[in-house]
Amino acid sequence: MTTTFDLLVIGGGINGCGIARDASGRGLRVGLAEMNDLGSATSAASTKLFHGGLRYLEYFEFRLVREALIERETLLRAMPHISWPMRFVLPYHKSMRFDSTTPTSKLLSLAMPWMKGRRPAWLIRLGLFLYDNLGGREILPGTSKVDLKAGPEGKGLVDKFAKAYEYSDCWIEDSRLVVLNARDAEARGAKIMPRQKVISADVVDGIWHVTLRDMDSGAEQVVTAGMVVNAAGPWVGDVLRGTLRSNGTSGVRLVRGSHIVTKRLFDHDKCYFLQGTDGRIIFAIPYETDFTLIGTTDADHQDASIKPECTAEEQDYLINFINQYIAKPISTEDVVWTYSGVRPLYDDGASSATAATRDYVLQLDKSRGAPALNVFGGKITTYRRLAESALEKIQTVFPAANKPWTAGVALPGGDFPVDGVAQMISDLMKQFAFLDERWATRLVKAYGSEARDILKGAAIKDDLGQDFGATLTEREVNWLIEKEYARCAADVVWRRSKLGLRLSKEEISALDIWMKSRVAAGVTAAAK
């Protein structure tokens, strides 16, 4: 029997899962097919920020920045367990050079040629004033000045930096964001199909007939849909021209962004927004309590089929970049992990990867005789608004679909106040006395109010079953398998969490063997 959908979403990254959630909540019959694990490509390799994009102001991307700034607080209210406010320190020195190719640079060079690529302090303050006010703020504090000679923010930096500006943005657990959107879509009726690759798509009498292949068993099935959404991320161009066989001419520009993770470099919980001599910026962010996340690079990536990796050159670039700021230089020996992702940006013909637009473009194509919506670009902060914009186009095909609904609606586990994390951690420790603060914090910042459901009925630690290390237990892994689509150790320790930073290779291997046995047993039982 063929499964029939109104809408089939191709791609289980944040845009695909966000669209599936929104469409399901409007009453559409939705299917989502992802050839790998959910959020396993671009959406797992971001800089982990809900941010307006301060540097995009240099390119006069005011609409994109305003939309992203508004979204920060909308999203924060819906997911206070996996997103939280952070303060960013921007060290300033009058000798600093900036990118000479941005519209701001070109305008400044005409008006003030003697600056020779520098930015006066008043211009930095103007940019931060716009950042504070373009989107309005109710939760996040505004910009303030920082005395680096007197405050903890200056410790660890080189002496030449005496002052800085401090502003707000938000952290986001990117991979968990994807999975929680998928779960909410499923709860509203969507069929989520990870590890199902779209092999072909044909149109018969105005209906899409799409062949899916199970990437584990090789079995194939055909589903039908009134409309398809191509949200394949780095593979959007391949799906557009190869699978959907569209005549569309729009292109995607693949840009690789790499990050390094080092031992903790600063004795406070604030982030740094650092500007390089080449005009680029990087972030240095407190990460998983004991580490610092540094990134990102911008480099063109030629082929989506080539797995992105942080090259030796990119690693050296990031190390040399931050060494211009810190008093105790780091080396490759201080790097404990690297990761890299490919951003599928809309090809606007920009001269460099850094200058390419981060805005999204949605194109409705009916050339095959059935509608297809192709999604180009976007950034994690604006995923919900992208989904709403996508539904505006989808509703031209399905006019009976309901109205927009996602703004501020909590994701699973996020049904508590933005300022309620500390209280929830305290309450969890009281209810389950075997938890220490670090373990309870990890659970709350991953699962929110659902942490209680995972631990339900446990009086002692042993009640949670096998201990896989680093506070990861059988009870939690079973939850991830049954509720969050996890199938192997990498899904758990590098996407649903970052416990791979704390587990040994042997521990991860043992977890992988256990999970695959557990998944196989579950599949066998379901088949009987």
What pLDDT, on a 0 to 100 scale, did the predictor assign at position 356? 65
Under a CB-based contact definition with an 8 Å cutoff, are residues 343 and 42 in contact? yes
Provide mean pLDDT across the span 512-527.
79
Is residue 257 domain-shared with residue 322, that is, in the same domain?
yes
Is residue 234 domain-shared with residue 257, that is, in the same domain?
no
* φ/ψ (deg, to 5) at 273: -105, 110
pLDDT beyond 70 at 150: yes
Domain ranges, residue 126: 84-170+253-346
Is residue 320 domain-shared with residue 217, that is, in the same domain?
no
Is residue 322 domain-shared with residue 368, that is, in the same domain?
no
Residue 388 counted as domain residue: yes
Residue 51 counted as domain residue: no
Is residue 154 domain-shared with residue 283, that is, in the same domain?
yes
Peptide bond connecting 262 to the previous residue in cis, omega within 30 degrees of 0: no
Give me the CATH number covering residue 456.
1.10.8.870
Residue 30 counted as domain residue: yes
pLDDT in tens, 72-89: 999 999 999 999 999 999
CA distances from 428 to 173, 229, 388, 412, 474 (A): 21, 41, 36, 17, 19
Residue 29 counted as domain residue: yes
pLDDT beyond 90 at 124: no
pLDDT in tens, 438-468: 999 999 999 999 999 999 999 999 999 999 9
What pLDDT, on a 0 to 100 scale, did the predictor assign at position 263? 96
Q: Is the CA virtual torsion 436, 168, 78, 382 positive or negative?
A: negative
**End-to-end CA gap in the chain:** 19
User: Band of the pLDDT at 123, cuts 50, 70, 90?
Assistant: confident
Residue 272 counted as domain residue: yes
Q: What's the token pair of residue 203? A: 């149109």
Is residue 247 domain-shared with residue 260, that is, in the same domain?
no
Residue 367 counted as domain residue: yes
Is residue 377 domain-shared with residue 328, that is, in the same domain?
no
Total domains, the chain: 3
Give me the CATH number covering residue 188.
3.50.50.60
pLDDT in tens, 39-70: 999 999 999 999 988 878 887 888 888 999 99
Is residue 433 domain-shared with residue 521, that is, in the same domain?
yes
Is residue 257 domain-shared with residue 148, that is, in the same domain?
yes
Q: What is the pTM of this model?
A: 0.94
Angle at 175 between CA 80 and CA 415, to 5 degrees: 25
